[in-house]
């Protein structure tokens, strides 16, 4: 079998890469989603150094492995964003399950490893499925160490009781639940951004800085598939103090709870629980079959809320890292 490892071609390789990526992630990856992510990323990157000589800036290398018939059977990516922690590169190596143990992953990894070496990275971060022992062993054999556990959880909405889905839930006193569609405008969007920026460091395992406002808009509000009616907000007057962002997965008639946050000054009042209940109620009203979400294993408060509402654990991911000499 002749395998060619080459740079990914845009847009020609979108479809084949999306099919392959969908074998790794819990929800299908679509061409539209890949196109949206690329549209929000700078077309040309530049890697730099900080005053301590650590890798900074932004760039990425994307590779595909193609067989004789032109089918994409392997994928590799090494990247960092401007807000990524200095010295760090994120990395992904993925091989079609039917084509594993043929040296494809080894070939991709060698190229990504060379990219990291020539650019002076000091840390590589990746992830593997927590139920994929072969991939865990592959990463461990190359010096990667397990760092964190991202739990995934899922709640089926069909037949869910009303007291669970939020119609009978109490909203904390002085707090209004609404959506971004109902309070549009740049001023509110900037306030929501500040809430995201403020709460980002509270995520267990978070590293680096939070992206700037214009980039946050590109990756969230300006994407073609963005639906402001699925962006839930908790307001104290006109101040957003909590949010729960849902992303529609049309292929599976479901939504993914991308992010839930509450301002630190407002925690302990039941706002996160109210937002979660409202999100379940909204998803049921819209006819979705289930909601999927993920949380760090050390995020005990949010995990407790999810379990209380009926979310059940499903396979998730291990984050793994490797320190380079």
What interhelical angle do 14-21 and 31-39 show, nearest 10?
Answer: 110
- Pull the structure tokens for residue 220: 């969230």
Domain ranges of the chain: 4-121, 153-314
Check pLDDT > 60 for residue 286: yes
Q: How many C-beta neighbours within 10 Å does residue 74 have?
A: 25
Q: How many C-beta neighbours within 10 Å does residue 264 have?
A: 12
Check pLDDT > 80 for residue 163: no
Q: CA-CA-CA-CA torsion for 172, 205, 19, 111, nearest 10 degrees?
A: 160
Which residues does 183 contact at the CB level (< 8 Å), separation at least 6?
Answer: 233, 235, 238
CA distances from 73 to 32, 93, 296, 316 (A): 20, 11, 30, 23
Same CATH fold assignment for domains 4-121 and 153-314: yes
β-strand 88-95 against 123-129: which pairing, if any? parallel
How many Å apart are CA 144 and CA 136, to the nearest integer? 9
Q: Is the dihedral of CA 134, 135, 139, 140 positive or negative?
A: negative
Check pLDDT > 60 for residue 168: no
Which CATH number applies to 4-121? 3.40.630.30
Q: Is the peptide bond before 226 cis (omega within 30 degrees of 0)?
A: no
Q: What is the pLDDT of residue 42?
A: 78
Q: What is the pLDDT of residue 169?
A: 53
Task: Write down the pTM of the prediction.
Answer: 0.90
pLDDT band, residue 161 (cuts 50/70/90): low
Helix, strand, coil: what percent of the chain each, to 5? 35, 30, 35
Q: How many C-beta neighbours within 10 Å does residue 9 have?
A: 11
Start-to-end CA span in the chain (Å) = 35
Which CATH number applies to 153-314? 3.40.630.30
Q: What is the pLDDT of residue 29?
A: 96
Q: What is the pLDDT of residue 147?
A: 92
């Amino acid at each position: 079998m002749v395998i060619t490892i080459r740079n990914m071609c845009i847009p020609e390789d979108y479809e084949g890469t999306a099919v392959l990526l969908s074998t790794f992630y819990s929800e299908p990856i679509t061409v539209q989603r890949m196109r949206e992510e690329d549209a929000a990323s700078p077309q040309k990157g530049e890697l730099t150094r900080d005053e301590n000589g650590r890798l900074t800036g932004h760039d990425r290398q994307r590779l595909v492995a193609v067989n004789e018939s032109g089918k994409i059977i392997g994928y590799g990516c090494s990247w960092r964003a401007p807000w990524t922690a200095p010295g760090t590169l994120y990395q992904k190596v993925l091989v079609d399950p039917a084509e594993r143990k043929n040296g494809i992953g080894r070939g991709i990894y060698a190229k990504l490893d060379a990219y990291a070496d020539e650019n002076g990275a000091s840390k590589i971060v990746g992830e593997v499925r927590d139920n994929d022992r072969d991939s865990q062993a592959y990463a461990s054999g190359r010096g990667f160490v397990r760092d964190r556990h991202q739990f995934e959880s899922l709640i089926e909405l069909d037949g869910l009781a009303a007291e669970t889905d939020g119609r009978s839930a109490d909203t904390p006193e002085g707090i209004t639940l609404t959506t971004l569609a109902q309070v549009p405008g740049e001023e509110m969007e900037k306030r929501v951004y500040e809430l995201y920026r403020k709460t980002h460091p509270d995520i267990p395992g978070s590293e680096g800085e939070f992206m700037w406002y214009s980039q946050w808009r590109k990756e969230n509000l300006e994407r073609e598939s963005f639906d402001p009616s699925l962006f839930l907000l908790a307001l104290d007057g006109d101040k957003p103090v909590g949010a729960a962002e849902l992303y529609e997965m049309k292929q599976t008639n479901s939504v993914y709870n991308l992010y839930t946050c509450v301002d630190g000054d407002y925690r302990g009042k039941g706002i996160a629980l109210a937002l979660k209940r409202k999100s379940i109620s909204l998803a049921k009203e819209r006819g979705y079959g289930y909601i999927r979400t993920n949380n760090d294993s050390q995020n005990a408060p949010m995990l407790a809320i999810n379990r209380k509402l009926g979310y059940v654990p499903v396979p998730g991911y291990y984050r793994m890292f490797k320190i380079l000499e």
